[in-house]
Chains A and B, each alone.
Chain A
């Protein structure tokens, strides 16, 4: 398995390089000159020349790329075109915040959906099943950002429980930190919870009709063990597959949620920088999300191997 992981990391790095090349060339071929955007139509030519030299904007594109790549490998991610702030400083603080949101949403989705899916499968056909299934279907149809807006309306303004924007360091005020992240996390993870509930339910229903489940009962297992120990593990494979498909959607939704809640993470950084054509920042941010996506997928593939003994890398 160790070799497998190494191979995957290798593929990841290659993909990241390819993506960085594509993005680099794409961005630089786009209309919209950052100089014009930042400094207006008639900027001081001397100033322009200095800026161009500093950022290497006067060099041919492929040379710019190698310059950039070389710098990245040495840990220099460049500087924002807007104000010269090093990109690394910009993303240093934002990355952990976005990671908290993303992983928080995934964990929330799982915690919320597992009991629901198992219960719905167990009490199939009953009113509990019907309400859980309809509820998840409705949750699938709600745009995430709308849910965020709704939460703010309800929990921030009507009830005054949670603040509607900003960030608090967990070290400084843990309760305040929890209050600030709970709405974004739930809003991001809700759709995923709905999809997992449905998938888990349908998977469990299939598993519960299997021979080995009847045999588990015949061995003297109480129904609780039949469900939790014998059925759930076998139901997880399609569920994990579905989670894998959702990651892309989840990451996209997370970016939108950051805007809804004015959450100072990588998502708001991207949205902000694109309006300024801030190439260095955009580049790194996109690579961040691509890398995050691949890492989560790798985790999922490892999870497959842990759950299903027939899968061995």
Chain B
């Protein structure tokens, strides 16, 4: 199989007192071997929910109502909890945004790292575990390792904690790693270090593909191979990073690129996307971006555009818009 992960027609719903909210609508995409795929979009567009669906940790009252998530020839959407417990942390791992609350305050770092090994490699002996933990901390760029291992999370800085979280994510040599806004909560100086670290890890490990989630599309463009734009639970555009940045087709994509502050020689004006997200509880007949789009016409309201490949020369470029140029 050419694809590490293949998601097809994924639909996730939240059922609350207010009714049914469609969080993910017919999401389909592929994660290729040894690639870094970026998810871009505003808060609430479904990026995090997609990744949570992959590891089946959607918080209640959310549920997958339709679709498949094919990984290693099995459909994760159909897996039992026990099967997922085997996969999480070992084959698919995840890094969250907030390092200060990611680690359990009651246990030492060594315990928290060795726990993953004990869970997934029960036959590994103590010395081997120790070796692996020390090694992995070296890999993520930590020094004074014995001290770190003996420490409790509250004794370490945010940057160090995030490195430990990354270490936990790769200690079992996973196939897929999901990084959900891993640097948003960090100091600007540390951000760059962590981003390089993640890129380094992805390049070194040939069996690893990374999904990188961020609201900052320019950040994604600098490091990802491909980028996927999401909005209101739908995919609007997917293409190589260069194409997304230089030849963005969807008006939303263009808005995203323009609205991220960027220091460049000629300061561009921010192109703010006007308007607000419509409620997830309503079913939208036409294009979901209609009420905020600046290039729409009547047909956009009546029919929902399909995701169509307009790429040339063998490079895939998917867009969900009637106005593809």
Contacts and interface: CB of A to CB of B under 8 A. Distances in A.
A219 B88 contact: yes
B249 interface: no
A215 B102 contact: yes
A185 B200 CA distance: 62
Contacts of B86: 220
Contact of A220 (B96, B101, B104, B120): B120
Contact of A210 (B87, B88, B93, B101): B101
B85 A220 contact: yes
A234 B55 contact: no
Interface string B159-182: 000000100100000000000000
Contact of A310 (B82, B104, B154): B154
Contacts of A234: 104-106
Given A219-B168, A222-B82, A234-B104, 5 more contacts: A215-B165, A218-B88, A221-B119, A309-B152, A310-B152
B321 to A, nearest CB: 35
Interface string A85-122: 00000000000000000000000000000000000000
A234 B103 CA distance: 12
A75 B186 CA distance: 64
Contact of A309 (B119, B120, B154): B154
Interface in B65-92: 81-82, 85-90
Contacts of B115: 219, 221
The 9 A-B residue pairs with the shortest CB-CB distance, nearest first, are A220-B89, A219-B89, A211-B101, A220-B88, A309-B152, A212-B104, A233-B106, A218-B94, A220-B119
Interface in A195-229: 210-212, 214-223
A58 interface: no
Q: Say what secondary structure dominates the interface of chain A.
A: helix
B57 A214 contact: yes
B201 interface: no
Nearest to A210: B101
B8 to A, nearest CB: 23
A16 B108 CA distance: 40
Contact of A218 (B55, B81, B103, B104): B55
B106 A214 contact: no
A192 to B, nearest CB: 24
A230 interface: yes
A216 to B, nearest CB: 7
A212 B88 contact: no
A307 interface: yes
Nearest to A236: B106
Interface string A299-313: 000000001111000
A220 B165 CA distance: 14
B273 interface: no
A229 to B, nearest CB: 9
B177 to A, nearest CB: 11
Contacts of A215: 94, 96, 102-103, 165, 168
B245 interface: no
8 contacts: A210-B101, A211-B101, A215-B165, A216-B104, A219-B119, A222-B82, A309-B152, A310-B152
Interface of A: 210-212, 214-223, 230, 233-234, 307-310
A230 B165 CA distance: 16
A218 B85 contact: no
A20 to B, nearest CB: 41
Interface in B43-64: 55, 57
A72 B103 CA distance: 53
Contacts of B116: 219-220
Contacts of A220: 85-90, 116, 119-120
Contacts of A309: 105-106, 152, 154
A220 B93 CA distance: 9
B298 to A, nearest CB: 44
A309 B94 CA distance: 26
Contacts of A210: 101
Contacts of A216: 104
A222 B115 CA distance: 12
A212 B115 CA distance: 14
Interface in B301-319: none
A307 B96 CA distance: 26
B50 to A, nearest CB: 15
Contacts of B88: 217-220
B98 interface: yes
A106 B54 CA distance: 46
A309 B154 CA distance: 9
Given A217-B88, A218-B57, A310-B154, A223 B102 contact: no
A211 B165 CA distance: 12
A230 B104 CA distance: 7
A208 B88 CA distance: 18
A217 B59 CA distance: 12
A222 B94 CA distance: 16
Nearest to B178: A218
Contacts of B89: 218-220
A29 B43 CA distance: 73
